[in-house]
Structure 1
Amino acid sequence: MPYQSRWPLAPPNVCLPTFIFDQSGGNLQSAQRKVFLDAKRPETHYFTFSSYREWSKRFAAGLSAAGLRPGDRVMLFSGNSIFTPIVVMGTIIAQGIYNSANPGFSVREAAFQIKDCAPKFILAAPNCLQRAQEAVQMAAMDLGAVLLFEDIGLDELHWPQQTPIQHWTKLLGSSQASKELNWKELDSPEKSNRTALLAYSSGTTGLPKGVEISHYQIVSNIIQLERTLCSDKTVTNRRNLCVLPFYHGLGLLYYCLMSPKLGLQIYLMERYDLLTMLRHIARFRITELLLVPPMLIAMAKHPTARSGECDISSVRKIIVGAAPLGREVTERFEEIWQGRVRVRQAWGMTEAPALCLAWDECETSQCTTTSVGELLPGVEAKLIRDDGAEETKQGQAGELWVRGPNIMKAYWRNEKATTETKTSDGWLKTGDIALIDKGKWYIVDRKKELIKVRGAQVAPAELEALLLEHPQIIDAAVIGVKNITGDEEPRAYVVARNKSMISEAQVEEFIQCRVSKQKRLCGGVVFLNSIPKTPAGKIVRRELRDKANREIRNGNLSQARL
């Protein structure tokens, strides 16, 4: 029998703009409350709830006047900006589909996504502009689709009048056009299932795939997050610092769409930087943080965070998502607040946006835990055995399958991938190995990442958590490499704080005395300057496997030992 959330959910059939702008009820103190603020220039660069609505409608009016048709895509190729929410909501109001690209993309990576989704317009930041133009040419598309996207003043008198390439403000309609525009209502299941966002999966196990997310699914997830992550109505004046990128599904849905609906105040950082983040927390008295594991690991080990040099005592809540996090690292991080703050992990994926498992804010447990909480409202789950045919027995781990109103619509123009990942009755095969204990869920590892050691399954995440307990190791990743018999053995890639203070043999010994025989690092230890990761903080093991294969072929590194 599937596991059920303790909260039922019946989301309304409504378009996203109506849900956010017209159904906010008493959640907002005032239409003039500031909802998005540039952390570098909060006094001059901000949007109130009212101006957010007006500017979104202006952008929608401009897009429609420029020829955007229902279902056309608009791509943003940029880091975070207070104008990102305007582009997102304006595109959706104009009945387009919003899509974003990682500003760190190479020309080849950008060209792949551009060719796949064929955007009508591409808004590129100055540092992305040349790559965008080259990618458009590589994808054999019209260069006229590319516009320069940069921060502007809210005063139109200071907008650029002439630029080498068309400026994105050309797509902003007038204030009068904003007043005259009415968005199309979506008041039936068929209509509310229209695609609003096209988010690309990280491609950790293959080429990235476009994930279609509908109005209904976004509305559902906002309600789910409100009823769990923001369930304590006695908490007022929440102040969030957005350090996650908007081009990632979690950052986009949590900060760009849910937060204004709930009237939360969001200070935006263009990009993540640890010391800048600490200073912003102190300056703005930030109360809540949403992080990914690399950020938390860096913060736990950085002397500035631990010394009290920056006053970060205002933080009340920290949520970590995207990848499993070990208990020891979590405890070290919590020491910064001397036990006043507990880290709460959550789980979701691009195909199950933004979260499906999280902690109820009202739950008062003060224990440090690696659990990702419980099922969000309206979500079902089951754990499937390796053969894919049956559910596991009580207490056993298995592949996590989830079903709920927030689960993706489909992969963009990829029916084969959709049918392989989502069953005909709506179950999403996540590829994550999970278990449930006393009502709380735990993510063990990725199904495809488990290392098969002489018939036993070894979870890389367990070894990575142990490696991070070593004071001289600041980051780590573990993969399986083949030995001469064809079996796999664990190999660790580690980033050392000071390479002269630690050796490969010391790392092996550190693990050997803490684990059973099959989990020992018989595949060896390799020091790197950095671990390859996606923007969300997930380890790109494919790159490490490719590296190991090259090293073995070239004779630079031996195969795993027996």
Structure 2
Amino acid sequence: MPIHSRWTVPIPEVSLQTWLFGSSNEPLSDQKIFLDADNPKTNYLTLSGYRLMSKRIALGLQRAGLQRGDRVLVFSGNNIYYPNIFMGIIMAGGIFTGAGPAATSAELARQLQDSGARFLIAATDNIAVALEAASRAGLPKDHIYAFDGLLERASPGDLVGVKYWTDILANAAEAEKFAWVEPEDPRSTTCCLNYSSGTTGAPKGVKITHYSYVANGQVIVHIAHLDPNWNAELKSKSNICCMPMYHAAGQTFFIVNQSKLQVPTYVMPAYSFEKLLRHIHEFRITCLLAAPPVLLKLAKSPLTEKHDLKSLDQVVCGTAPLAPDVAETVDRKLWPNGGKSFVRQGWGMTEFTCNGTLWASGDDEKSTSIGELVPNASLKIMDVEGTGQEITTPHTSGELWIAGPAMMKGYWRNPTATQEIIVEENGVRWLKTGDIVYVDRAEPGAKIFITDRIKELIKVRGFQVSPAELEATLLTHQSVVDAGVVGVVVDGNKVPRAYIVKRPDSDVTANDIANWIKGQVANYKWLKGGVVFVESIPRNPTGKILRRILRERAKREVGDLKGKLA
């Protein structure tokens, strides 16, 4: 039987902008919401300023020709005006879609073509890439705007002939009177296309409706307000944003949910670990949401001890599994006397808008769990061998299927991929997550433990080997800074191969690592595919290991199954 959340929360059927701001003209707080971490005293936005600037962009986009349902692609890193671009697109009746600033022209062109974007707002530094991509996709140059988060151009120059983002802005007086576009049906109207690979394959546009986005935010706000100390401590709360806002995790957490809670966010325009530590100390940051690479640096970098991080009372790791040893080390460094808090792991999917699990206030259990189900959600655990059998026994692993109002509408113009990941049973739409999990008990409030991804498992002589488990084990070695594991074929058999970043001062050898692991895991998990030292492990901006890159490298170095059978 499915396990249900222990909370049920009503979801307002309104637009995302109405949920966040109330209305287009009612009085709003002058609480600072977004502050430039590099220049917070003069470069910031209040909640009322957030709404007004977003309305200026919305009105300007309409005048530039944006129609209901048109897609606008934002190709940029973070700055304090990124949330305005996001919300302005939606207020205008458009659909936001974002791409990371590291995208190549080919990748950007594919997203432009797939989404059918009518406008492109691109970081000033990436204009050349944007122009090349737009040319491939057939997007007119006069629909491209350069964006750097400055209200005035940093330098004259015509930016290769494209318009500057402030050319969109309507004046403030007109924007004050502007009433944003309300969707006819929040349940069916898409506001976001966040691209995701899902459980397999190429990136696909994930259609998130206004209702699903509001459902995601409403449950986070509800859980925050369950904390009896929330209102008393609100004035001292603050966030630091080092996660990309184009991604579902950074987008939902900072652009929407924390703004709704009126918690200030210091926005880092560019990530730097040393700057992150300095900002936490200087601004007395209380909450850090970060990907595993940041937590790994907190655990292993000598810089951590050189900064005062005692203000932190909430550290949440998301987007990819965190090794237990890393979490334990960060706990000891941040809270050496114990008792204050623990590093918590969360879980979510772009296809579920974002949050699928959370930790409730007062839950002081120290655990490697990803928490429990968000309000209104249900889960079931299915046999990974595809038998269609549901697993109902605690501590028995299977694929996580999740249901709830925050689920995506489907993949953009890809019904086949939608049917592969969504299963409807008795009127309930279940999302097949591809994550392997188990629960500690089969009842509401159950803690969920994630072990790996189905598509990343390595089959060794019939045994399933988890790369994440091996990586977590390798990170306990004092000479290992980071690790990535993939499967390779040696003598016709699939075996694990590890890519290791070692400490600069270490003289450990590949043989040392290979022999050491033998004392830590069963023999079918031994690194018989070899150990290779590398400068870094390839990861995406949210911290997930890019195993495809490691697999391609391993294929060049070792070969693969097809090669052996040819």
TM bin (shorter chain): over 0.9
Query: Is the aligned partner of 1:225 residue 2:224?
Result: no
**3-state SS of paired residue (2:514):** helix
CA separation of 1:290 and 1:191: change in aligned 2, threshold 3 A: closer
Give the alignment partner of residue 117 of structure 2, picking from 116, 119, 124: 119
Contact 1:467 1:473 in 2 (8 A): yes
CA separation of 1:318 and 1:157: change in aligned 2, threshold 3 A: closer
Cα offsets for 1:25-69 (capped at 9, x unmatched): xxx9x7111000000111111110111111111111111111100
CA separation of 1:499 and 1:508: change in aligned 2, threshold 3 A: farther
Give the alignment partner of residue 482 of structure 2, picking from 462, 465, 475: 475
CA distance in 1, matches of 2:364, 2:126: 45
1:184 alignment counterpart:
181
1:96-175 correspondence runs (5 A): 96-153=94-151, 164-175=161-172
2:345 alignment counterpart:
345
1:73 alignment counterpart:
71
CA separation of 1:161 and 1:294: change in aligned 2, threshold 3 A: closer
Query: Is the aligned partner of 1:493 residue 2:499?
Result: yes
1:527 alignment counterpart:
533
CA separation of 1:65 and 1:515: change in aligned 2, threshold 3 A: same
CA distance in 1, matches of 2:241, 2:549: 29
Query: Is the aligned partner of 1:552 residue 2:558?
Result: yes
Contact 1:494 1:531 in 2 (8 A): yes
1:363 alignment counterpart:
363
Contact 2:199 2:434 in 1 (8 A): no
Per the TM alignment, residue 302 of structure 1 is displaced from its structure 2 partner at its CA by 0.7
CA distance in 2, matches of 1:531, 1:229: 35
1:401 alignment counterpart:
401
CA separation of 1:204 and 1:426: change in aligned 2, threshold 3 A: closer
CA distance in 2, matches of 1:56, 1:432: 37
Per the TM alignment, residue 161 of structure 1 is displaced from its structure 2 partner at its CA by 9.7
**3-state SS of paired residue (1:128):** helix
**3-state SS of paired residue (1:400):** strand
CA distance in 2, matches of 1:241, 1:63: 30
Contact 2:377 2:404 in 1 (8 A): yes
CA separation of 1:209 and 1:158: change in aligned 2, threshold 3 A: closer
Return 5+ residue gaps in structure 2 as ranges. Answer: none
Contact 1:382 1:400 in 2 (8 A): yes
Contact 2:15 2:183 in 1 (8 A): yes
Contact 1:73 1:97 in 2 (8 A): yes
Cα offsets for 1:441-476 (capped at 9, x unmatched): 001100111111111111111110010111111110
The percentage of aligned residue pairs carrying the same residue is 41
2:548 alignment counterpart:
542
2:209 alignment counterpart:
214
CA distance in 2, matches of 1:191, 1:360: 28
Per the TM alignment, residue 126 of structure 1 is displaced from its structure 2 partner at its CA by 1.4
Contact 2:244 2:251 in 1 (8 A): yes
Contact 1:245 1:271 in 2 (8 A): no
Q: CA RMSD in A?
A: 2.1
Query: Is the aligned partner of 1:47 residue 2:42?
Result: no
**3-state SS of paired residue (1:470):** coil
Letter in 2 for 1:266: T
CA distance in 1, matches of 2:188, 2:221: 21
Cα offsets for 1:522-561 (capped at 9, x unmatched): 111111111111111111111111111111249xxx99xx
Contact 2:33 2:44 in 1 (8 A): yes
CA distance in 2, matches of 1:205, 1:430: 10
CA separation of 1:185 and 1:144: change in aligned 2, threshold 3 A: closer
Cα offsets for 1:194-251 (capped at 9, x unmatched): 1001101157843111111110011000012223356424132210001101011100
Query: Is the aligned partner of 1:444 residue 2:451?
Result: yes
CA distance in 1, matches of 2:495, 2:225: 43
Contact 2:199 2:433 in 1 (8 A): no
**3-state SS of paired residue (1:383):** strand
1:329 alignment counterpart:
326
Cα offsets for 1:291-314 (capped at 9, x unmatched): 110110011111110x2x211110
Contact 1:15 1:192 in 2 (8 A): no
Cα offsets for 1:88-144 (capped at 9, x unmatched): 111111010011111011111111111111211111111111100011112232222
CA distance in 2, matches of 1:491, 1:300: 24
CA distance in 1, matches of 2:292, 2:154: 40
**3-state SS of paired residue (2:124):** coil
CA separation of 1:133 and 1:158: change in aligned 2, threshold 3 A: closer
CA distance in 2, matches of 1:98, 1:427: 25
Normalised by the length of structure 1, the TM-score is 0.93
CA distance in 1, matches of 2:224, 2:347: 12
Contact 2:402 2:431 in 1 (8 A): yes
**3-state SS of paired residue (1:127):** helix
CA separation of 1:460 and 1:162: change in aligned 2, threshold 3 A: closer
1:279-294 correspondence runs (5 A): 279-294=278-293
1:431 alignment counterpart:
434
Cα offsets for 1:300-357 (capped at 9, x unmatched): 111110x2x2111100000101111122111111111213331010000111121101
CA separation of 1:523 and 1:362: change in aligned 2, threshold 3 A: same
CA separation of 1:217 and 1:159: change in aligned 2, threshold 3 A: farther
Give the alignment partner of residue 92 of structure 1, picking from 80, 90, 93: 90
CA distance in 2, matches of 1:435, 1:177: 55
Letter in 1 for 2:169: L
CA distance in 2, matches of 1:328, 1:22: 44
- Count the aligned residue pairs: 543
Contact 2:481 2:503 in 1 (8 A): yes
CA distance in 2, matches of 1:533, 1:158: 32
1:377 alignment counterpart:
375
2:312 alignment counterpart:
315
Q: Which deviates more, 452-461 or 387-396?
A: 387-396
Letter in 1 for 2:195: Y
CA separation of 1:186 and 1:204: change in aligned 2, threshold 3 A: closer
Return 5+ residue gaps in structure 1 as ranges. Answer: none
Contact 1:229 1:358 in 2 (8 A): no
CA separation of 1:336 and 1:140: change in aligned 2, threshold 3 A: same
